[in-house]
Amino acid sequence: MTDLIAKEVAEQEFDRFVDLMDLDVDTDGMDEDDKKSFTQQKDKLISAIQTGALVVEDTGEPVFTPQRTEGATPIKFYEPTGASLMAMDRKKKTEDIGKLYAAMGDMTKTNAGLFSKMRMPDLKICMAITTLFLG
């Protein structure tokens, strides 16, 4: 996809998302692996903002329009609540992906199965948003 938004503007939108959602993204306390992982997630989201696939609403809540998943509609990620964490408790200890999908389903007010049908590039954006929210 062609970039519709300049990288600097996309970075500002990412920062606005972080500020409005009061996310802890201070890399000072992170080890090298965590810093690398955070940077990868941030870069994915900035890239999605650049293409117009990810939009940050006035409230700070991101709306992602899947680009590779046929028939997909925009997905709004609402600010997580305690219920988002509780949704993960319904899964077994070994069901890490199931826990992640359960949290995503709660945050988006959709069925967690939606994410199992997504193509990987779209799913990675959804997982990056969720990881930042839960981090």
Mean pLDDT of 11-40: 92
Cβ atoms of 64 and 53 closer than 8 Å = yes
pLDDT score for 52: 96
**pLDDT of 20 strictly over 90:** yes
pTM reported for the whole predicted model? 0.90
Looking up tokens 């509780």, which residue turns up?
86
Specify the higher pLDDT residue, 88 or 57: 57
**Average pLDDT, stretch 87-100?**
79
Angstrom distances, CA of residue 1 to CA of 48, 49, 73, 81, 110: 10, 12, 18, 33, 27
The pLDDT, as a whole number, for residue 1 is 65
User: Is the confidence at residue 128, as pLDDT, over 90?
Assistant: yes
Helices (DSSP H) in the chain: which residue ranges? 7-20, 32-51, 82-89, 96-108, 113-116, 120-134
Residue 41 has pLDDT above 90, yes or no: yes
Q: Which of 27-31, 80-84, 110-114, 118-122 has the lowest mean pLDDT?
A: 27-31
Q: Looking at residues 64-86, what average pLDDT do you find?
A: 93
Would you kindly state where each structural domain of the chain is located, as residue ranges? 7-134
For residues 51-57, average pLDDT: 97
Q: How would you class 115 by CB atoms within 10 Å of its CB: exposed for 0-12, middle for 13-18, buried for 19 or more? A: buried
Whether the per-residue pLDDT at 13 is higher than 70: the answer is yes
Query: Are 13 and 21 a contacting pair, CB within 8 Å?
Result: no
CB 64 within 8 A of CB 57: no
